[in-house]
Structure 1
Amino acid sequence: MTRVAVLTPDPADPSFAGQWPGVLERLATALSEAGITAEAAPWIDHVEDASGLTGYPLVLPLLAWGYHRDHPRWLLGCKTWAAAGVRMLNPPSVIGWNSDKSYLGRLADKGVPIPETLWVESMVQGDADAAFDRFGTDTIIVKPRVSGGAWKTLRVSRGEALTDAPDGPSMIQPYLPSIETEGETSLLFFGGALSHAVNKRPVTGEFRIQVQYGGKYQALAEPPAGAMALARQTLAAIDEDLLYARIDMARGPDGGWLLMEAELIEPDFYLGSAPEGGARFAEAVKARL
């Protein structure tokens, strides 16, 4: 069996303790069937010294949850791993820039359609108030540029006071009603090839589609019309050596697809909804080994 390391959360962080072991187990099971043993390695333990990772033929940052809460150390870790020559996929350079959602602006500059976005350095009430008129909407989404799992993500209505606003660099987007009616669609790519597509919908009254907020996931027989074109356009604009990618998208007001996220660090592959994707991921890993 070939040993690979999977970066995992800080074991001292109780907020993830009930979820990540199950995700790791699904990944480990899929990899083991391809002759690969997955070994957990808390990412926080290797930030300043990569020697604990250099012995692995491959390191997968698939469960490095919590980096958004300690972003400076995450960036330091990415720098350390790159300098030490850790064979990590996706590469340290990619998981560094992908941790700040300002990358969406750079993709938009390359022609990838994203929701209208207002970038602010420090969120205040005036920024939110101005966004309603700028976007011509009565509901906006406010979130930090460095976030994960809808952390500090708010849905704000016109006239509503902005409370618990994110600290530091943030982003504002118009709320997309299609999230509630059609949900968000994710396309999973392993080794550059489409593996599976999953539709994610929030429960009634909610706008966040993550499982911790009750989100419901369903595998799709094939991507909706137009979704694959946006995914391919996004991957071409990224133009990086990627082992895996999850391209999240939703429909805009005109019915066209908009890129919500390109998850290249620790995306949930939704193997609980699409278990066949595990074997495809394992084959992609095996090909790299």
Structure 2
Amino acid sequence: MIHVAILTPDPAEVAYPDLWPKVLARLQRALDGAGIAVIPTPWTMHEDDVSGLRDYACVLPLLAWGYHHDAARWQRACATWQREGVPLANPARVLAWNTDKRYLRELAARGVAIPPTAFVDGLSPATVEQAFADTGADALIAKPAISGGAWKTRRLRRSDLVEADDGMPMLLQPYLPAIETQGETSLLFFGGRLSHVVNKRPVPGEFRIQEEFGGRYALVPEPPAGAVALAEQVLQAVGEPLLYARIDMVPDAEGRWLLMEAELIEPDFYLGVDPAQGAGFARALQDWVRANG
């Protein structure tokens, strides 16, 4: 029997009390069938002392939801895990890098297509006006550079009143109407292999596709070749050994696929619509343990 730890939210975290246990149950079912015992443990219990993680074959940060609410603490924990050689998958250095969405700027420099993005030090009338002028968009999406689950993500129209914030680094991108008609497409990779592809669409009048906002998810039996090509390009550009990755993308008005996010920390795998119900992840985890044991 292989024993792995799954990092879960801080016990004081109140944002996801009903959702994360459901995701944990799906992961447990998938791994139980492969002879892998899953032990949930809050990530905040191990930020300075890793002795409680030493006996596990692998530590998965898959449910460390809410880390963005205390990003400094999370980054300190990642540094501790890397220094102490905790058997994390994905690696602690990847977690630290993927925490800040400004990694998109690095991927764009490596040739990955992303939406036109302004990386600003804070939201203000001036930064929003400049983004509208630069993009010609009718609406913008403003999201914190360190965020999760659409936390503090806003859709701004030209007529909206914008007040200066507290200097939180933000990303400003044109709102892509395709999110309403074609949705966001997520490609799930386990051990570098494509497992399944999921399309996520918001409910009418909404732009956020997360489950807590009513998002509707469906399997894509035959993923578009362009989407697969972009996802593979992203993985190559990341250039790290990844046990898992979820690559989220949306087509622009011309049908070109654009990377929205590379989710390498705690993505939902959408195992509820995975035809294999997580068997591919279980096999990839078994291979990882054999290679790193």
TM range (shorter): over 0.9
Matched, 1:154 2:154: yes
Structure 1 CA distance, aligned partners of 2:286 and 2:108? Answer: 33
- 1:135 corresponds in structure 2 to 135
Matched, 1:238 2:238: yes
Identify which range, 135-144 or 267-276, moves more after superposition.
Answer: 267-276
Matched, 1:189 2:189: yes
TM superposition shift of 1:84: 0.9
Contact 2:20 2:63 in 1 (8 A): yes
- 1:126 corresponds in structure 2 to 126
- Residue identity in the other structure for 2:83: A
- 2:270 corresponds in structure 1 to 270
**Aligned with 1:14: secondary structure?**
coil
- 1:205 corresponds in structure 2 to 205
Alignment of 1:213-232 (within 5 A): 213-232=213-232
**Aligned with 2:143: secondary structure?**
strand
**Aligned with 2:51: secondary structure?**
coil
Distance 1:216 1:167, change over 3 A: farther
Superposed CA RMSD: 1.2
Structure 2 CA distance, aligned partners of 1:163 and 1:67? Answer: 26
**Aligned with 1:247: secondary structure?**
strand
Structure 2 CA distance, aligned partners of 1:164 and 1:38? Answer: 45
TM superposition shift of 1:214: 0.4
**Aligned with 2:168: secondary structure?**
coil
- 2:29 corresponds in structure 1 to 29
Distance 1:217 1:166, change over 3 A: farther
Task: Work out the percentage of aligned pairs sharing the same amino acid.
Answer: 55
Structure 1 CA distance, aligned partners of 2:261 and 2:197? Answer: 15
Aligned residues: 289
TM superposition shift of 1:41: 1.1
- Residue identity in the other structure for 1:135: T
Contact 1:11 1:17 in 2 (8 A): no
TM superposition shift of 1:14: 2.1
Give the TM-score taking structure 1 as reference length.
0.98
Give the TM-score taking structure 2 as reference length.
0.96
